[in-house]
Amino acid sequence: MKFKTHPIVTDLKINEDGSQLFYKGEPLYSKEYKVKGRHYLKKHVNFNNQTHSFAKLICETWNEIRPNKEMVVKRRDFNPENYHYTNLYWAPRGGMRTKKTKRVKTSKISEKDIAVIIERIKAGDSLRTIAKTYNTSDMSIHRIKRNYLEDKKQILKREIMKARDPYYKRLAFAKYFGFESIGNAVDAFGRNQFILKCQNLAL
Q: Is 35 exposed, middle or buried (CB count within 10 Å of its CB: 0-12, 13-18, 19+)?
A: exposed
Q: How many Å is the maximal CA-CA distance in the chain?
A: 63
Neighbours of 60 (CB within 10 A): 27
- The percent of residues in the chain predicted with pLDDT above 90, rounded, is 17
Look at residue 149 in the predicted model and tell me its pLDDT: 63
Look at residue 108 in the predicted model and tell me its pLDDT: 66
pLDDT in tens, 98-113: 344 444 444 467 777 8
- Whether 140 and 106 have beta carbons less than 8 Å apart is answered as yes
Q: pLDDT-based confidence at 88, cuts 50/70/90? A: very high
The residues spanned by each domain of the chain are: 3-92, 111-149, 152-202
Look at residue 14 in the predicted model and tell me its pLDDT: 95
Predicted model pTM: 0.47
Give 137's DSSP letter.
Answer: -
Task: Lowest mean pLDDT of 4-8, 12-16, 48-52, name the range.
Answer: 48-52
What is the phi/psi pair of residue 72, to 5°? Answer: -130, 165
**Once rounded to an integer, what is the mean pLDDT over residues 73-95?**
86
What is the pLDDT of the chain when averaged over all its residues? 80
pLDDT in tens, 149-166: 655 566 666 667 776 777
Write down the CATH number for the domain with range 3-92.
3.90.75.20
Q: pLDDT-based confidence at 144, cuts 50/70/90? A: confident
Q: pLDDT-based confidence at 170, cuts 50/70/90? A: confident
What residues pair up with 43 in beta bridges, in sequence order?
32
Q: pLDDT-based confidence at 16, cuts 50/70/90? A: very high
Indicate if the pLDDT at residue 59 is higher than 90: yes
Select the more confidently predicted residue: 76 or 151: 76
Select the more confidently predicted residue: 57 or 107: 57
**Which strands sit side by side in the sheet containing 21-23, from one edge to the other?**
3-5, 12-15, 21-23, 26-28
Look at residue 106 in the predicted model and tell me its pLDDT: 42
Indicate if the pLDDT at residue 201 is higher than 80: no
